[in-house]
Chains A and B, each alone.
Chain A
Amino acid sequence: MKKLTVLFSLMFFVCVANATEDQITFKSEQQKSTYLELTAELRCPKCQNQNIADSNAVVAKDMRVKVKALLDEGQDKEQVIQYMINRYGQFAHYQPPLNVATSLLWLMPIGFILFAVVLQVKRSKSKNDVNVSETGAVQLDSGQLDRELELLLESNTLDGSSVDNSSKDNKQ
């Protein structure tokens, strides 16, 4: 148990040690929030799916330092994003713009919703059709059922007599 607590406390120690790696002094709260937004929105070009805030790759570190330097120069968020896109391409930004290549990405969800609506409308219509035909079928069936019932009753009485006969046979 003691070993376990030591292990857990070590784990927390490691977490704390990692969290204090980047020590940056910001000029203002405004700059800090812009920096945090940018490092979350910019994508590490070396890693497959991490923003530069999350990544420990050398290039991500360099990009973080550059973001801070550009903000210190007085550039705004859009300018910093454009700076990175000019070097690393659209890949480096997590918000793809609407153009021919990305139109599928933006239009497909709308397409899916429209498709689902059309599907639902068609389905409810065809369901109503089925209901109408079913009730018709039931009405037809009720006439048939009556006849069948009569036939059944007739055969039953015959069967009954035959059963009576057989029982008599058994007794004999």
Chain B
Amino acid sequence: MTTKKFNFRLVPLILFVLLLAVLLKGLFSDPRERDSALIGKAFPQFQLPDLYDDSKQHTEKTLLNEAVLINVWGTWCITCKYELPYLAKLANEYDVKIVGLYYDQNYAPEFGQFADIPAIRVEVKDMLARLGNPYQYNILDLDRSLSLNLGVTGAPETFLVDANGIIRMHHMGDVNERIWREKLAPIWNEINQ
């Protein structure tokens, strides 16, 4: 009789252990780590100027025919400074095609804030000369319209786009050796076989 009866005294202990498991999991999980809504979708349409040359326009079609890493960055972004040397290494040593999407965070005409493009160009040249230049070219997303369509939350973020223009991976945060090996390289190698 007594062995069959559920011991209700154990309930708080069981609840405590469950809570402990949930909290412990939370302790070691990265809250920024979440599935992007864009994986498997086509790269959104856009028409934006080159960072160095206003007359040169880039569209989603210029990205086609070759797998490419789109790196969202800005000179204002501290983490980007730490990832630039590694990206440069990827570009130079592993022949990874990297295109920059320059994300300016000041430009907001609705609030009367405009960006100083010549100053940005000087800053970019200076920074790339110091830390290494991984970019084949940079797209200037001044009003962050393409970034919004890409679900970009800030910089740095990196997209892996295949030759057909399909987004295969969206990584928020910096690309380092660990991220490249675990997250990006498997897909990169798969689509470049």
- How far is it, in angstroms, between the C-alpha of A58 and the C-alpha of B110 when the chains are bound? 13
A-B contact count (CB 8 A): 46
Chain A facing B: main interface SS: helix
Q: Does the CB pair A89–B151 fall under 8 Å?
A: yes
Give the chain B neighbours of A130 by CB distance below 8 A: none
Q: Does the CB pair A62–B38 fall under 8 Å?
A: no
Among candidates B34, B37, B111, residue contacting A87 with C-beta atoms closer than 8 Å: B37
Chain B facing A: main interface SS: loop
Q: How many interface residues does A have (CB within 8 Å)? A: 23
Chain B residues numbered 113-169 whose CB sits less than 8 Å from any CB in chain A: 144, 147-154
Residue B105 lies at the interface, judged by CB distance under 8 Å to chain A:
yes
- How far is it, in angstroms, between the C-alpha of A46 and the C-alpha of B52 when the chains are bound? 29
Residue B185 lies at the interface, judged by CB distance under 8 Å to chain A:
no
Q: Does the CB pair A46–B148 fall under 8 Å?
A: no
Residue A61 lies at the interface, judged by CB distance under 8 Å to chain B:
yes
Nearest Cβ in chain B — how far from A7, in angstroms? Answer: 29
Q: A87-B38, A89-B36 are in contact. Are A58 and B151 (CB under 8 A)?
A: no
Give the chain B neighbours of A48 by CB distance below 8 A: 31
Residue B94 lies at the interface, judged by CB distance under 8 Å to chain A:
no
Residue B21 lies at the interface, judged by CB distance under 8 Å to chain A:
no
Q: Which residue of B lies closest to A91 (CB)?
A: B34
